[in-house]
Structure 1
Amino acid sequence: MPTAIAVTSADLVLPPNDQQTPPATAVQGPDAQPLEAALAELQTLIDQHGYVIVVYSSAVPLAVERRLHTMRSILESDRIALLRSDLPPLGLAVLVRKLRQLSICDLSPGVVASAGYLLTHYIHAGAVLNSVARLDHVPVSLKSHAKSWMPGSQFGVIANPQPQLVKLGPEAQLAGPEFGTWLLVAKGQLQTDWVTGTLANAWQVQGLRETPLPADSQRWWGTGRLVEFATYLPDTSVLYQLVTSVRRDRCHWCGLELIGEQCVFCSAAPPERENRTAAAGVPVGRHAQESPHRH
């Protein structure tokens, strides 16, 4: 069975790109499901799939993040990975679909989980907003704040991979991917064709799809008058080549394969980095994961 992918909201589960892409499971928050029921469902996923990767936004309410760490702690399972992401909602949904595609490939659970960090760099996620006055996740200058109060102002914003913000006009441009991608668009209450016209042409996207706006997008972007967008690579073989082109290591703590510096399942960093961190008096390794914090 493929590694199970789980999310904290059902609207982060986009339609698959092909018939082979498996679905993802929504883990209910503390306001929607008792802890006992949530534990039973998570244990069933582990029993059925062996390993579970839970992808969640760094902007979720603290109670939701605490619930995830509590369940992992109670189950005492190294088969649960908690993958925390700074992506906006639509970009996060794209990342989840990429991991779902990779979960059926001949990749170990540790590699699939750590691929989440690698593939994040290949997602251009942003939005067109009517105001940046309440935008907290992307740096906003005082000048842009002032322009937010001008009637009819619209702003193009990129949150990932590098923050960008421009006031829309005839010369407005946003730097995009330097490789061929598709564009996913989710329309809120803002009336504009800038994303599907100007931006799509400038980025020379290979295709365009529309999807409903995620429920958390309004809170993440600070306004309901927006059009959210994210680029994606639809071909599973391309994703597979990206991941397999990176050197794999084995976690010195839990033994799982991984790419990158840190194991998502046990949170252990490479020994040399753990030694430096421990010398500075900072908790390291798997037990550090049991104390979630905000950055």
Structure 2
Amino acid sequence: MTSADLILPVPEGQAPAAVVLHRPDDRAATERSHPLDEQLTRVSAALDSFGYLVALVPATLPAQERRRLHTVRAVLESDRIALVDVDLPPLAAALLARQLTLLCGTDLAPGVLAGAARLLPYYLHTGAVLNSIARLDRVEVNLRSHLRSWVPGSQFAVVANPQAHLAELTGSARLPGPDFATHLAVGEHGLASDWVSGDLARQWRCQRVCQVPLPAASTQWWGNQKLVEFAAYIPDVAVLHQLVRSVRRDACGWCGLETIGDRCLFCSARVEPTAPTRPAAVTPGSAATPAGTSRRPGPGAGAGTVSRTETDSRYQIGPTRR
């Protein structure tokens, strides 16, 4: 991450600490406080310690700072650095970083972990309560809502991810939310969070409400100086692990890493799905092989047996027992 306030704490001893790649405010600050050689040293040390590095790159990151990340990767000539673009509100990005940090302590391969950075945002329900939507450009605002925002005392509840939704905050306001168990993280600045911690938490059936510091970038992202940002997330690392493991995995043909998705995020090579194994020939007219059992093939079928397991829908070929 590029800011320390996007790093949320994790239970001690469960995962390695996240690495912060400080973002310079301008070129002078870059030369003075975080020159290129210092960032190279930090990234190189992280690679030596952990082996691989998954860097979450916010979509709002200025082009100059984005180029700096690519420069660091190019100078180190390392295919062990994955730069993953993340188009999420700041609090959701911080929660995604926390989830990935927890998953670092599991048996997931680096390529799978990097792919999880693109999978898990679909399970983050994030939004904010705003007293004005005049400067909100992250969610489509119709003319009626835009005019209502000029009425003194008006407030709006906005969901930005996974599907945009805007509603005027009234006693009957309802927001589309998750249909699975979550915790609700809430960060506020200048507005009371009572509706989020109370009504919204009950609507979404959140098991717990956690107050967290509001990231500094949130006011700019939402176009408001006063807001309450919230995000429902899966807190259990076992559930996250099962979710990621349930996705199909393929080996990258270039670097060999196990990945999920259509592209390896470390070497940028396109990943072609592994072709299913062709079943061995079976004598026409023979009875189907029961699940979990094996049988000899008929004449001309070759020295192999065909079995079908309950956990794999593809046929598996094994040696013939004699």
- Is the 2:191–2:226 Cα contact (8 Å) retained in structure 1? yes
Query: Which stretches in structure 2 are left out of the alignment for 5+ residues?
Result: 274-322
User: Cα distance, 1:192 vs. partner?
Assistant: 4.2
1:256 and 2:250 correspond: no
Q: Distance in 1 between matches of 2:12 and 2:96?
A: 16
Alignment-derived partner of residue 268 in structure 2 = 267
User: Cα distance, 1:19 vs. partner?
Assistant: 4.1
What does residue range 96-175 of structure 1 map to in structure 2 within 5 Å? Answer: 96-175=97-176
What does residue range 1-295 of structure 1 map to in structure 2 within 5 Å? Answer: 7-17=1-11, 19-30=13-24, 31=29, 32-271=33-272
- Is the 2:251–2:271 Cα contact (8 Å) retained in structure 1? no
For 2:178, the aligned partner's letter is: P
- Is the 1:16–1:22 Cα contact (8 Å) retained in structure 2? no
User: Cα distance, 1:156 vs. partner?
Assistant: 0.6
Q: Structure 1 or 2: larger helix share?
A: 1
For 2:41, the aligned partner's letter is: A
For 2:181, the aligned partner's letter is: G
Alignment-derived partner of residue 284 in structure 1 = none
Q: Distance in 1 between matches of 2:65 and 2:173?
A: 38
Aligned residues: 266
Q: Distance in 1 between matches of 2:196 and 2:130?
A: 11
User: Cα distance, 1:246 vs. partner?
Assistant: 1.0
- Is the 1:13–1:97 Cα contact (8 Å) retained in structure 2? yes
- Is the 1:180–1:204 Cα contact (8 Å) retained in structure 2? yes
Q: Distance in 1 between matches of 2:108 and 2:196?
A: 35
- Is the 1:156–1:168 Cα contact (8 Å) retained in structure 2? yes
Q: Distance in 2 between matches of 1:150 and 1:253?
A: 58
User: Cα distance, 1:152 vs. partner?
Assistant: 0.8
Query: Which stretches in structure 1 are left out of the alignment for 5+ residues?
Result: 1-6, 273-295
Q: Secondary structure at the match of 1:121?
A: helix
Q: Distance in 1 between matches of 2:234 and 2:244?
A: 13
User: Cα distance, 1:123 vs. partner?
Assistant: 0.5
Q: Distance in 2 between matches of 1:77 and 1:234?
A: 32
Q: Distance in 1 between matches of 2:90 and 2:224?
A: 13
TM-score by length of 1: 0.87
User: Cα distance, 1:21 vs. partner?
Assistant: 3.0
Question: RMSD of aligned C-alpha atoms?
Answer: 1.4
TM-score by length of 2: 0.80
Q: Which is bigger in relative contact order (C-alpha 8 A, separation at least 6)? A: 1
For structure 1, which segment, 51-60 or 141-150, has the greater mean C-alpha deviation from structure 2 after superposition?
141-150
User: Cα distance, 1:17 vs. partner?
Assistant: 4.4
Q: Secondary structure at the match of 2:172?
A: coil
Q: Distance in 2 between matches of 1:269 and 1:68?
A: 22
Q: Secondary structure at the match of 2:194?
A: coil
User: Cα distance, 1:264 vs. partner?
Assistant: 1.2
- Is the 2:57–2:85 Cα contact (8 Å) retained in structure 1? yes
If you compute each CA radius of gyration, which structure gives the higher value, 1 or 2? 2
For structure 1, which segment, 236-245 or 9-18, has the greater mean C-alpha deviation from structure 2 after superposition?
9-18
Distance 1:50-1:271 versus aligned 2 partners, 3 A rule: same
Q: Secondary structure at the match of 1:267?
A: coil
